[in-house]
Structure 1
């Protein structure tokens, strides 16, 4: 996903859509559209993108930036009530995601060609596995690392 696609998804997620979001951002609809569609060399600043993301209650901008940077955005869970049972649930979810990925992988290469749709499916499934691994690591470190090691 690119930043424009992220913006459109964030707008769709905001109650009232583009007009309401423009007002929330303190912009006229014309100024908002100019930034959204890069008219006259205008664009949203990173701070504006983050504000739109916050207003929309999504992580689409972070997802786009991570993807464009060759990575994956991983939203870290709150660990205030996390223990071994929750870690076990993450492990089970990870096993299921790996199984899903394995099935998609096998189907994609069965004809010795990975087409565009299969590539997108594999990428999405791989990102799902990566996210769960990172969540599992983050939870493990937050729960079991000594306080001074958590800050490193």
Structure 2
């Protein structure tokens, strides 16, 4: 799905559609919002701020997902860890999430020519090994939160 279709569907799939959303978004009329998300309208367009507000109001992130996909990226939810506000734990999981892309990038690169060389396999093994280390660190940090639920780091 492209970003234009995602915006259109976000508005029209929302209960009450543009009539329910326009006022909440600070847009003068539902017709204006309809025009902004209509793929056939050349004169009105959603601004980035409006797209962000639309996603926040609806809880529908298809626009973000479509934009990320258009650039060969992904968007993931940040972890919600209310029981343990350990910033080191949050940092660890975010690093795993961002570094995990190395596995996918390396795999894509490795498979570009349709075969896997010995050197490519060794490179992939190194990346996987580093991922195992990070996952082990994450497991230890999570266990520490269970054992010390009052632990709060900033």
TM-score (norm 2): 0.48
> Looking at CA atoms only, which structure, 1 or 2, has the larger radius of gyration?
2
TM-score (norm 1): 0.49
